[in-house]
Structure 1
Amino acid sequence: MRAPVAAPARDADQVMVQQGGGPTLDDVLVGVWEGLAAHRTVACPACGEAMTPRYSAGPAPVGGRCSSCRTTIA
């Protein structure tokens, strides 16, 4: 059994390390989508290569596609 922590951590990464886990699938996908929505190239959640935003008729990204494994986020 672990000793109680005196004060809760303020950084999400620190909390995950203390709990012995990593990011959840939700954390990963939200991070990818936030990057794509900001018109940035992000790491593909499947292979780690470059995922670029995909656009439709409007100026906002509607998803992303990996340049390596072709994984699509929509």
Structure 2
Amino acid sequence: MLDRQHMYKNQLAHAVGVSSVAVNKWTRGKSLPSLLMLMQICEALDATPNSLLIDMREDRRRRNGRRKK
């Protein structure tokens, strides 16, 4: 999602008021944002919660696919 929005992790972090470390953890699947934070992320990225969750699932599948090779 960040790639399509041409936004960097640190820009998203600033937009929603968290550290870039937190955003990095979210994008790597190491932690998840709260529901309230998810809504702020959606607003910052002009996205729906459903589209973000689908992107997260697809990213996880790609990462898992690479590990199996």
TM-score past 0.5 threshold: no
- Structure ranking higher in helix proportion: 2
- Name the structure, 1 or 2, with higher relative contact order (CA <8 Å, separation 6+): 2
